[in-house]
Amino acid sequence: MTPELTLPSILARALLLLAIPLGTGCGRPVPQVARENIRYAQALRTAANSRDAAGFENVARTIERDAQAGRIAADEQAVYAEIVALGRAERFADAEQRCLAFLREQARR
């Protein structure tokens, strides 16, 4: 028995095919990060997990200082800035998810 293809079922399948890659972060390039710089994402994740706004600010200052010293590439800093912005907006769950996605991508490399 094969399922009947109706317009709603076709649209639902098409939407699913589009939503899965977008929801998993595909389509957005993730910079390769030096092993020692993974600590920034880990610190941001800790701040997100503990709902610590002051922690986000501390990590953000460290990232900014290290970026000015040339220890963080611009594309890497952009990812961290996105996560910091989520934390500053108190979107802690979103910030933590973004950290996890970033860390998973780094582990694949």
Task: Say which residue, 54 or 3, is predicted with more confidence.
Answer: 54
Contacts of 60 by beta carbon, 8 Å cutoff, 6+ apart: 80, 84, 88
Q: Is 45 helix (H, G, I), strand (E, B) or coil?
A: helix
pLDDT tens figures, 64-90 = 999 999 999 999 999 999 999 999 999
Cα angle: 94, vertex 46, 95; to 5 degrees: 15
Residue-wise pLDDT tens digits, 9-34:
555 555 444 444 444 444 556 677 78
d(CA 98, CA 37): 16
Answer whether 0.75 is exceeded by the pTM. no
